[in-house]
Amino acid sequence: MFNLSGKVAVVTGGGSGIGQAISKLFARQGAHVEILDIDGQAAADTASAIVGAGGSAVGAPCDVSDAAGVKSAFGQIVGRRRRLDVLINNAGVAHVGNIERTSEDEFDRLYRVNVKGVFLCSQAVVPTMVGQGGGVILNMASIVSFIGVADRFAYAMSKGAVLTMTKSVAIDYVKYGVRCNCICPARIHTPFVDGFVKKNYPGREDEVLQQLAEYQPMGRMGTPDEVAYLALYLCSDEASFVTGQAYPLDGGVLNQ
């Protein structure tokens, strides 16, 4: 089950955290993984680790908010591999603040990466997927796509857009064999979270990390591997009847 042999998967933001966990798992399941990250060295390091473990991967720099860069990156991938079976739209940025404490520049930055990035990468792969008779797009949304969370105004805006883009792509391309779903995690403990807490709550890191853990009824944050396992299912042939859906991975948050 969940065999990805012969498939080509692209993972944005694959140099660390959730994207890295997905990249490594998909490679273990037989996929060739193309890792894109704004940090080109992180992408290359993740790819090297995969190759060192016997998998197949290539890492390259890519800013998902840059249209020309996205077009070039995906053009090179299709040129090398001649197909593209899976796109994981994982790259993203976060922000703390309500509407009064969100500047226009910050709002635009969240939109460029979290919304425009998903648009550009999805737009880049759809023609190839349609031409080859199918494929899978998996977007990384959030529980804030469903509910309000204090001081996450711009982030919630962006992830709400990811949810509706998911449903739009799913309905537009279902007849072409292209499936599109999204995962909606609660707090996932990644190096990004550690850096985010350190930047925004200096001197209160332990306190804030404990608060983030306790937000989930399970009393902890999720792990990148737990997200990767759900991603594997949704991108596998075993999920061939699933499209247009948003899957919470939330430790019980939405059940409160």
Catalytically annotated residue among 155, 176, 215, 233: 155
Mean pLDDT confidence for 107-117: 98
- In this prediction, residues 11-35 reach a mean pLDDT of 98
The pLDDT-based confidence of 47 (bands split at 50, 70, 90) is very high
pLDDT at position 35, please? 98
Percent of the chain with pLDDT over 90: 96
Mean pLDDT of all residues in the chain? 97
Give the residue among 38, 43, 2, 53 at the shortest CA–CA distance from 20: 43
pLDDT score recorded for residue 139: 99
The answer for residues whose C-beta is within 8 angstroms of residue 121's C-beta and 6 or more apart is 10, 12, 64, 70, 74, 87, 89
CA distance 252 to 56: 36
Can you give the pLDDT at residue 118? 98
How buried is residue 31: exposed, middle or buried, by Cβ count under 10 Å (0-12/13-18/19+)? Answer: buried
Q: How confident is the model at residue 196 (pLDDT cuts 50, 70, 90)?
A: confident
Q: Are 19 and 191 in contact (CB under 8 A)?
A: no
pLDDT band at 222 (very low <50, low <70, confident <90, very high): very high
Pick from 106, 145, 111, 118: which is nearest to 36 by CA? 118
In the CATH scheme, what architecture does the domain 8-186+224-248 have?
3-Layer(aba) Sandwich (3.40)
Confidence of residue 192 (pLDDT cuts 50, 70, 90): confident
Query: What number of other Cβ atoms are within 10 A of residue 217's Cβ?
Result: 14
**pLDDT greater than 90 at residue 64:** yes
**Quick one: pLDDT band at residue 256, thresholds 50, 70, 90?**
confident
Is 155 a known active-site residue?
yes
Percent of the chain predicted with pLDDT > 70: 100
Q: How far apart are CA 86 and CA 31, in angstroms?
A: 9
